[in-house]
Amino acid sequence: MGWIDSFVKFREKRVKEVSPNPEKEMSFLDHLEELRWHLVRSIAAIVVFAIALYINLSWLLSNVLLAPFKGSFITHQLMCRLDPSLCFEKIDVTYIAISPYEQFINSLTMSLIGGFVFAFPYVIWEFWRFIRPGLHDHEQRSMRGSVAVMSLLFFIGVAFAFFVIVPFSVQFLAGYKLSPEIENQWRIGDVIGMITQLLIGTGLVFEMPVLMLYLTKMGVVTPEFLRKYRRHAIVILLFIAAIITPPDWISQILTFFPLYLLYEISIGVSGRTLKRQAAREAREKAEEEAARKKAEAEAAKEAAASPAVPPASTPS
């Protein structure tokens, strides 16, 4: 895959720049091998969590994935307290499987996706371990805590989707009928796919501030650029919200507002990153200037302290 080769070559180049021992440089294949082991450990963590979830799959399906379909779900209970007419016991939907392998395949899908969600912090940590050797000391210090921040944003996105987007989506879609004669019989695979798509998609797009931070460090975006193209960004965010949500405007609007808030936060993150870079460059320049003046002063002092050498006499 081309993007993997480009990523490994970028890491190889950066490691050469920051390595204190150029004679011990790693080859491209060495970097690729190291990436392979990071990926292997990440996949192993996902599989471990997936196995644990598969063992408790019935509980996971009934009490987690399908919980927003029940009137006892916390979001529905809050809406019920605000308006008693919104109270209900269970959303009027029947789940069906129409192929022999559908339930088995979906059990594996649920387990693997759940394994990815729970293993996300470890996966990000492995990714961080791979890129860290290619970073300067000040870059490592500035990115300290990135794993925790990315994990927190991801879980906030997943929680927002689970407690806000999914309940309103399923309630709207189950309540929308072309005719009272039509019953809602949903394929369990479609239900699981919709919910997991919302959870993973929302969790990933909530990483926007971190993405903008890295793009700012790379010189790709600036706060002025983000402000200038705010209107274009709104259209893109609406498009993203439409992709990761079911085809109903309520879910799309509920997803768009936090995305737009994250975009505004990203502008602040980008501006703060540029200020820190400018301050660091000014500090480094001042240190270099002070070191240069100190070297010149020491050289002048040594020249003044050394005895004058008389010029050699020329023979007559």
- Between 237 and 182, the higher pLDDT residue: 237
What is the enclosing helix (H) or strand (E) of 81? helix 74-82
Q: Which two tokens stand for residue 259?
A: 């995305």
Helix (H, G, I), strand (E, B), or coil: what is residue 44?
A: helix
167 CB neighbour count, 10 Å cutoff: 22
| Closest C-alpha to 188, from 104, 118, 250, 246 | 104
| Closest C-alpha to 64, from 192, 186, 169, 182 | 192
pLDDT at 23 over 50: no
* pLDDT for position 24: 55
- How far is it, in rounded angstroms, from Cα 32 to Cα 87? 56
Residue listed under structure tokens 């912090």: 121
pTM, two decimal places: 0.81
pLDDT tens for 89-111 read 888 889 999 888 889 999 999 99
* pLDDT for position 308: 55
Tell me the residue type at 102: E
| Closest C-alpha to 35, from 136, 139, 126 | 126
Question: Which residues contact residue 4 at a Cβ distance below 8 angstroms, ignoring those fewer than 6 apart?
Answer: 35
127 CB neighbour count, 10 Å cutoff: 17
CA–centroid distance for 315 within its chain: 82
Tell me the residue type at 238: L
User: Mean pLDDT, the chain, as a whole number?
Assistant: 84
Tell me the residue type at 122: Y
Read out DSSP for 37-78? HHHHHHHHHHHHHHHHHHHTHHHHIIIIITGGGBTTSHHHHH
Instruction: State the pairing for strand pair 185-187/94-96.
Output: parallel
State the burial class of residue 68 (Cβ atoms within 10 Å of its Cβ: 0-12, 13-18, 19+). buried
User: Mean pLDDT lowest for which of 154-163, 164-173, 226-235?
Assistant: 164-173
Tell me the residue type at 124: I
- How far is it, in rounded angstroms, from Cα 47 to Cα 111? 9
Q: Which two tokens stand for residue 2?
A: 């081309």
pLDDT at 119 over 70: yes
Average pLDDT of the residues in 123-135: 83
Query: Looking at the DSSP assignment, which residues form a beta bridge with residue 70?
Result: 90
- How far is it, in rounded angstroms, from Cα 160 to Cα 168? 12
At residue 145, φ and ψ (nearest 5 deg) are 90, 0
CA–centroid distance for 265 within its chain: 15
Average pLDDT of the residues in 229-254: 86
123 CB neighbour count, 10 Å cutoff: 20
Average pLDDT of the residues in 21-36: 67
